[in-house]
């Protein structure tokens, strides 16, 4: 089993999908011979030609509008938005067209074959226009699926699952893990289910929940907590929409405590939705208030990025406070 980083795993998934199905098309800004700004699409144009892997104009609304049209006519487009921060010009196309195609037609037509890839999150000193985590904007939109992998194995399996899913999928890739996260990834075709969380560590005292790059942060925090004999159950949500409410509830019923962490700002962040659902189903079992460890309610800073991010020390302090409540 070869060792891959996240970029190599994503490239491998795209290669498999394009080899399997001639209807799979890959396009976006600089994705062709250049291979994308992070090189996730390297060599795909050489292998499959300019008709199946090609550059687009620098117009995000046009990229997604074009992708919607292709998907509506039976193609399987994989559209790349160069940074998730750039997705907002395409917001109207995604929430008013992509998400509603099937509903408005009574399933006479749909764009279920569409996957939108976007590097997202902080950790690369990208400043306010290259570091945002916009998953909560799209989680508010019925008709979409939102997926965030945490490592190369997940990136390949979830991306193949997204491309083959009957619904349009937003696939957010934690860019600070692109080369930092490595692991064993099978060369063969496989896919992971969308909408199922993964319990990565079992414990009894507190449930700690996150997704994407925050899982590495959680692991470091949990190591500190375990050294103080605090038993942590760790859950990687993997899919924001739909999210695996039953698995989270089952864990919280066992531990009585929940700490949620994400990079996005606190107000309106997806942790609030999780907290509301969990207290609705677990209220009488909670031993402490549900804690949220998140980014700040400010634009993403450049020089103060480390202070802004929800790091392992902040998560560790939240774990201790929850257990001591």
Ordered DSSP codes for 273-321: HHHHHHHHHHGGG-SSPPEEEEE-SSPPPSTTHHHHS--HHHHHHHHHH
Contact 303, 206 (CB under 8 A): no
- The mean pLDDT of 292-318, rounded to a whole number, is 96
Q: Residue 182 pairs with which residues in a beta bridge? A: 5
Predicted pLDDT of residue 288: 98
State yes or no: is 140 an active-site residue: no
- The mean pLDDT of 136-149, rounded to a whole number, is 98
- The mean pLDDT of 81-110, rounded to a whole number, is 96
- The mean pLDDT of 10-18, rounded to a whole number, is 98
Predicted pLDDT of residue 289: 98
The number of beta carbons lying within 10 Å of the beta carbon of residue 206 is 27
State yes or no: is 305 an active-site residue: no
Average confidence score pLDDT of the chain: 97
Predicted pLDDT of residue 72: 96
Percent of residues, the chain, with pLDDT higher than 70: 100
Predicted pLDDT of residue 271: 98
Which of the four pLDDT bands, split at 50, 70 and 90, describes residue 1? confident
Predicted pLDDT of residue 70: 97
Instruction: Name the catalytic one among 29, 80, 97, 130.
Output: 130
- The mean pLDDT of 174-192, rounded to a whole number, is 96
- The mean pLDDT of 49-54, rounded to a whole number, is 97
Instruction: Name the catalytic one among 29, 60, 97, 233.
Output: 60
Predicted pLDDT of residue 207: 98
Collect all residues with Cβ–Cβ distance below 8 Å to 120 and sequence separation of at least 6: 83, 84, 85, 132, 133, 134, 135, 148, 172, 173, 174, 175, 212
Torsion of CA 318, 241, 239, 55, to 10 degrees: -120
- The mean pLDDT of 99-112, rounded to a whole number, is 94
- The mean pLDDT of 190-199, rounded to a whole number, is 98
Cα within 13 Å of Cα(131), Cβ side: 22
Q: Three-state secondary structure along 180-212?
A: CCEEECCCCCCCCCCCCCEEEECCCCEEEEECC
Which of the four pLDDT bands, split at 50, 70 and 90, describes residue 18? very high
Distance CA(310)–CA(264), nearest Å, equals: 9
**Model pLDDT for residues 260-282, shown as the tens digit of each residue:** 999 999 999 999 999 999 999 99
**Model pLDDT for residues 235-262, shown as the tens digit of each residue:** 999 999 999 999 999 999 999 999 999 9
292 pLDDT above the threshold of 90: yes
Percent of residues, the chain, with pLDDT higher than 90: 98
Which of the four pLDDT bands, split at 50, 70 and 90, describes residue 229? very high
H-state helical runs in 73-213: 91-92, 101-105, 135-139, 152-164
Predicted pLDDT of residue 129: 95
Q: Which two tokens stand for residue 298?
A: 């400010």
Predicted pLDDT of residue 27: 98
If DSSP codes are grouped into helix, strand and coil, which group holds residue 53?
Answer: strand
301 pLDDT above the threshold of 90: yes
- The mean pLDDT of 95-101, rounded to a whole number, is 97
């Amino acid at each position: 089993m070869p060792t891959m980083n996240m970029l190599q795993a994503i490239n491998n998934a795209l290669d498999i999908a394009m080899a399997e199905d001639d209807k799979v098309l890959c396009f976006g800004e600089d994705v062709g011979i250049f291979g994308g700004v992070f090189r996730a699409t390297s060599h795909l144009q050489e292998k499959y030609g300019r008709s199946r892997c090609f550059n687009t104009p620098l117009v995000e609304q046009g990229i997604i509008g074009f992708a919607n049209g292709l998907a509506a006519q039976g193609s399987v487009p994989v559209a790349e938005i160069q940074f998730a921060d750039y997705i907002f010009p395409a917001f109207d196309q995604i929430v008013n067209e992509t998400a509603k195609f099937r509903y408005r037609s009574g399933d006479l037509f749909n764009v279920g074959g569409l996957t939108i890839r976007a590097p997202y999150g902080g950790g690369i000193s990208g400043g306010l226009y290259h570091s945002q985590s916009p998953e909560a904007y799209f989680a508010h939109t019925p008709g979409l699926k939102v997926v965030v992998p945490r490592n190369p194995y997940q990136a390949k399996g979830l991306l193949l699952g997204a491309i083959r899913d009957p619904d349009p999928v937003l696939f957010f890739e934690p860019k600070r893990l692109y080369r930092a996260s490595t692991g064993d990834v099978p060369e063969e075709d496989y896919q992971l289910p969308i909408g199922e969380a993964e319990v990565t560590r079992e414990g009894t005292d507190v449930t700690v929940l996150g997704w994407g790059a925050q899982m590495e942060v959680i692991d470091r925090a949990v190591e500190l907590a375990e050294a103080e004999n605090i038993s942590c159950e760790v859950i990687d949500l993997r899919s924001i929409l739909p999210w695996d409410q039953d698995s989270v509830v089952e864990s919280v019923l066992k531990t009585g405590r929940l700490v949620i962490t994400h990079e996005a700002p606190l107000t309106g962040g997806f942790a609030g939705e999780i907290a509301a659902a969990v207290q609705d189903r677990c209220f009488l079992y909670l031993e402490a208030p549900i804690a949220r460890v998140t980014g700040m309610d400010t634009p993403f800073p450049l020089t103060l990025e480390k202070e802004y991010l929800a790091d392992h020390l902040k998560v560790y302090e939240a774990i201790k406070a929850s257990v001591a409540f």
